[in-house]
């Protein structure tokens, strides 16, 4: 494809602007006027439409391709929910409109959505209350560990400065804990893919503030010792944090609050189909047990005795503001529509089919891409290209790039770090058996190519405008100057 600047022709225009109602000299101060032209491309409307339509066809998206990115739950988002979020009564609201008087009726519907969504989430997760403010999963993690820190400070136990994090936890956990001021201490995984209880016991001392446990973990496995783990943490004086990034595997069937967790975040842009990708938008609401409610962020949506809703601020032990306004409202709204569409029984079918699809992929590929842990998985399966790497010199990266040439977005690579040559595949519940069979066939075909012609996979992808990039050089020697 030509660059849009190459398509530019002097004097060609794609729009006609109305004549300004005031003199330009009065509307734009002289200090803000350009001394030279902006050098923007000049194209007709048709040229612009065709250029960006062609660009869109080069993208992988959930609407166009199977997107098995592990630990990301790239499920299909029903377009009806997008229409709900685009309703003018919601989309045109300004966050500073009055809550109750002088036009406050305009905001009552939005406040009701936030209140109802946090109530449903608290029920689904088994906690007392929920804040909708965090605007991403990692932002939810940070909020959660800040709540843990505030709870310890309130008890005069500020010396508890260590956060335990299993090596099969979600990748952002250490960063979130460190940003909240904790020192991170790693807990090992045992031979079955669970938390090593002996290692955990050895590291639970008077300095430990809590444990961040991804449930299910990033190996795609549910730890049968979860209740034991949370009990051990409590007996040592700490709190148990549940990373809900993988909640799609257990939603509607298991409530983390019932397993002994004190706080958790959930990803609306994963389990609640809003969806995510490309850096956002997202939402990471945090749910807590009663003892942590006083520390939740402000403001909080409350329902008054007369049935109206308001934002409340008078919570002296609150950790304060963690986001502008009241969360990522458009994402919350789509999640709310999703929840009402499914209902309680619908969520059970979500987790049931997500787990079924992942185990189907695992069963079909385990002989060629053997997993490190020979167990049924939950929402995702972590396969390994270690066998191919040893036999043919073809690595997980080569398989992932080869999938692009076959019309599939690559799975997550080389994560979790405890699995050599990891390929983390999460099909989600929205994919059909036919789609999964196509992906499985592509993975098996790539393994055969690896044995017959390994050199060809080292140069994949070959069907894209840009081929294999030197990612190491890009990270170490990035070209940041204008070309």
In tens, the pLDDT along 344-359 reads: 999 999 999 999 999 9
pLDDT tens digits, one per residue of 172-183: 999 999 999 999
Mean of the per-residue pLDDT values of the chain: 93
How far apart, in Å, are the Cα atoms of 242 and each of 199, 220, 247, 421, 450? Answer: 19, 15, 10, 27, 40
Q: Is residue 255 part of a domain?
A: yes
Q: 101: how many CB neighbours lie within 10 A of its CB? A: 7
Q: Is residue 297 part of a domain?
A: yes
Q: Is residue 66 part of a domain?
A: no
Range of the domain at 99: 82-340
pLDDT for 235: 98
pLDDT for 25: 66
Confidence check: pLDDT of 275 > 80:
no
Confidence check: pLDDT of 325 > 70:
yes
Least confident of 132-141, 323-332, 372-381: 323-332
The answer to whether the beta carbons of residues 192 and 143 sit under 8 Å apart is no
Q: Is residue 277 part of a domain?
A: yes
Q: Is residue 292 part of a domain?
A: yes
The answer to whether the beta carbons of residues 8 and 42 sit under 8 Å apart is yes
Q: At what angle do helices 433-452 and 396-405 cross, to 10 degrees?
A: 120
Token pair 């809703």 in the structure block, residue: 309
pLDDT for 173: 96
- Across residues 205-224, what is the average pLDDT? 97
- The pairing of beta strand 286-288 with beta strand 263-266: antiparallel
pLDDT for 105: 76
pLDDT tens digits, one per residue of 237-255: 999 999 999 999 999 999 9
Q: How far is CA 86 from the centre of its chain?
A: 22
Q: Is residue 336 part of a domain?
A: yes
pLDDT band at 117; cut points 50, 70, 90: very high
By CB neighbour count within 10 A (0-12 exposed, 13-18 middle, 19+ buried), where does 340 fall?
Answer: middle
Q: Which pair of structure tokens corresponds to residue 158? A: 């500020």
Strands lying side by side in the sheet with 263-266: 129-131, 286-288, 263-266, 239-244, 208-214, 162-166, 183-187
11 Cβ contact partners less than 8 Å away, ≥ 6 residues apart: 42
CA separation for the pair 260, 107 (Å, rounded): 37
Cis amide prior to 299 (ω within 30 degrees): yes
pLDDT for 482: 57
| Residue 206 belongs to domain with CATH number | 3.40.640.10
pLDDT band at 104; cut points 50, 70, 90: low
The answer to whether the beta carbons of residues 388 and 450 sit under 8 Å apart is yes
pLDDT for 483: 52
pLDDT for 478: 87
The answer to whether the beta carbons of residues 220 and 380 sit under 8 Å apart is yes
Q: Is residue 399 part of a domain?
A: no
CA angle 172, 177, 178 (to 5 degrees): 100
**161: three-class secondary structure by DSSP:** coil
pLDDT tens digits, one per residue of 136-163: 999 999 999 999 999 999 999 999 999 9
pLDDT band at 101; cut points 50, 70, 90: low
Q: Is residue 384 part of a domain?
A: no
Strand ranges, E, within 284-380: 286-288, 300-303, 309-312
Confidence check: pLDDT of 100 > 70:
no
pLDDT for 337: 95
The answer to whether the beta carbons of residues 295 and 155 sit under 8 Å apart is no
CA separation for the pair 88, 83 (Å, rounded): 10
Number of domains composing the chain: 1
Confidence check: pLDDT of 102 > 60:
no
């Amino acid at each position: 494809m030509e660059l849009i600047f190459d398509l530019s022709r002097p004097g060609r225009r794609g729009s006609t602007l109305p004549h300004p109602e005031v003199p330009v000299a009065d509307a734009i101060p002289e200090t803000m006027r350009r001394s030279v032209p902006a050098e923007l491309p000049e194209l007709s409307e048709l040229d612009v439409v065709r250029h960006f339509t062609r660009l869109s066809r080069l993208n992988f998206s959930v609407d166009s391709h199977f997107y098995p990115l592990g630990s990301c739950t790239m499920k299909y988002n029903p377009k009806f929910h997008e229409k709900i979020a685009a309703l003018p009564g919601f989309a045109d609201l300004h966050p500073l409109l009055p809550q109750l008087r002088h036009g406050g009726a305009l905001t009552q519907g939005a406040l009701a959505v936030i209140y109802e969504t946090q109530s449903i989430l608290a029920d689904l997760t088994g906690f007392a209350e929920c804040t909708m403010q965090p605007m991403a999963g990692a932002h939810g993690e940070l909020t959660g560990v800040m709540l843990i820190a505030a709870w310890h400070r309130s008890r005069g136990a500020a010396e508890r400065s260590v956060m335990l994090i299993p090596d099969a936890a979600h990748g952002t956990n250490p960063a979130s804990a460190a940003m909240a001021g904790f020192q991170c201490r790693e807990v090992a995984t045992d031979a079955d893919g669970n938390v090593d209880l002996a290692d955990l016991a050895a590291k639970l001392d008077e300095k430990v503030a809590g444990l961040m446990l991804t449930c299910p973990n990033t190996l795609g496995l549910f730890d049968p010792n979860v209740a034991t783990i949370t009990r051990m943490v409590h007996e040592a004086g700490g709190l148990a944090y549940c990373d809900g990034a993988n909640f799609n595997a257990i939603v509607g069937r298991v409530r983390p609050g019932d397993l002994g967790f004190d706080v958790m975040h959930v990803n609306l842009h994963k389990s609640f189909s809003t969806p995510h990708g490309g850096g956002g938008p997202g939402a990471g609401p945090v749910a807590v047990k009663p003892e942590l409610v006083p520390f939740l962020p402000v403001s909080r949506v409350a329902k008054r005795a007369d049935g109206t809703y308001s934002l409340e601020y008078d919570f002296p032990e609150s950790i304060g503001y963690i986001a502008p306004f009241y969360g990522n409202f458009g994402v919350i709204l789509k999640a709310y529509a999703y929840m009402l569409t499914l209902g309680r029984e619908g969520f059970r079918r979500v987790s049931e089919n997500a787990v079924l699809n992942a185990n189907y992929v695992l069963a079909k590929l385990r002989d060629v891409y053997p997993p490190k842990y020979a167990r049924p998985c939950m929402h995702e399966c972590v396969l390994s290209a270690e066998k191919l790497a040893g036999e043919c010199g073809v690595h997980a990266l080569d398989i992932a790039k080869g999938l692009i040439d076959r019309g599939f977005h690559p799975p997550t690579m080389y994560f979790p770090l405890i699995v050599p040559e990891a390929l983390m595949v999460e099909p989600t519940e929205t994919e059909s058996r036919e789609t999964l069979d196509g992906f499985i066939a592509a993975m098996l075909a790539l393994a055969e190519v690896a044995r017959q012609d390994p050199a060809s996979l080292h140069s994949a992808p070959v069907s894209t405008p840009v081929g294999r990039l030197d990612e190491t050089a890009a990270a170490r020697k990035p070209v940041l100057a204008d070309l």
